[in-house]
Homo-oligomer: A and B are copies of this chain.
Amino acid sequence: MLKETTTKRVRLLVSCKDRAGIVSAISTFLYNHGANIVQSDQYSTDPIGGMFFMRIEFDLPPKKSSFEKLKEEFIEIAENFYLDWKMSLANQKKKMAIFVSKEDHCLMELLWKWKAGELNVDIPLVISNHTNNQQAVEAYGIPYHYIPVTKDTKQQSEQKAINLIKEANIDFSVLARYMQILSPTFVQAFPHQIINIHHSFLPAFIGANPYAKAFERGVKLIGATAHYVTNDLDEGPIIEQDVLRANHRYSTEQLRVAGRNVERITLARAVQWHINDQVIVYGNKTVVFS
């Protein structure tokens, strides 16, 4: 009964064709259910015939089951306005899986921020095709699944990973410098549920060895891109990008080392937004309410 004495913070994500009355209908619905809107963002690609996106955070009074009831009753509005929508309790932690290969900087960034309380998730498992990060991950009390990948075993290995994800009820996965390309089967099983960090400022330097390519081209900034994984390599919806200044003194290896800093920061920001339901995918782009 203790739970009932505190307010419940709820997040509502909405996308639909824009038309008059949506904000009014939703905010009145919430008001009539005793909700207090504490944050609201919206965006319309075009008020006439465009798409409408909204994110609302609101507090529900501490009555029993008010959230479930609210969710159920929202369906009517959703149907009237043909809404795509998602409603979730802010304090209900998502389950995040991390995939990693040898390089540990993105992994450690996520684990450190998680332990510091900055990432409001559970991390039931880490999957890797290498063993070198096992000890560090287990020191955080997180199970580490070593699933080697070879040409011949790729399909079986992926199936193992899929099984692990499904058994653990994973909400989304992060490829924290996981140097294997996922098969269409894998990707389609988890639409907009896999976040990758690519070590370049996309669409520059798609594919392998972006730092070598950046060195060749003589760019003066290097970047990183966090995006949802689709079947087009490095072409999925971009969540976040950032850059770092470089110059002629940087070798490919030094670009790689410097780039770690922008990779881990960019990825952590994207993961944070995903966790907080701040990202809506539409077409091959994202709306990020940050």
Query: Contact residues of A with B, CB < 8 Å?
Result: 18-25, 27-28, 30-31, 34-44, 47, 59, 104-105, 108, 112, 116, 118, 139, 201-205, 217-221, 223, 237-243, 247-249, 257, 260-261, 265, 284-288, 290
Contact = CB atoms under 8 A, between A and B. Distances in A.
A249 B112 CA distance: 24
A259 to B, nearest CB: 12
29 contacts: A18-B36, A19-B36, A22-B37, A23-B23, A23-B27, A23-B40, A24-B27, A24-B31, A27-B27, A28-B28, A40-B41, A43-B248, A104-B116, A105-B112, A105-B116, A201-B201, A201-B221, A203-B205, A203-B217, A217-B238, A217-B285, A218-B286, A220-B239, A220-B241, A220-B288, A221-B223, A247-B288, A247-B290, A261-B265
Interface hub of A19, A24, A59, A237 (most chain B Cβ within 10 A): A24
Q: Report the copy number of this chain in the oligomer.
A: 4
By secondary structure, the A interface counts as mixed
Given A35-B20, A220-B241, A237-B218, A285 B248 contact: yes
Given A24-B24, A202-B204, 6 more contacts: A20-B36, A27-B27, A40-B40, A201-B243, A218-B284, A221-B242
Contacts of A285: 217-218, 248
A288 B248 contact: yes
Contacts of A37: 22-24, 42
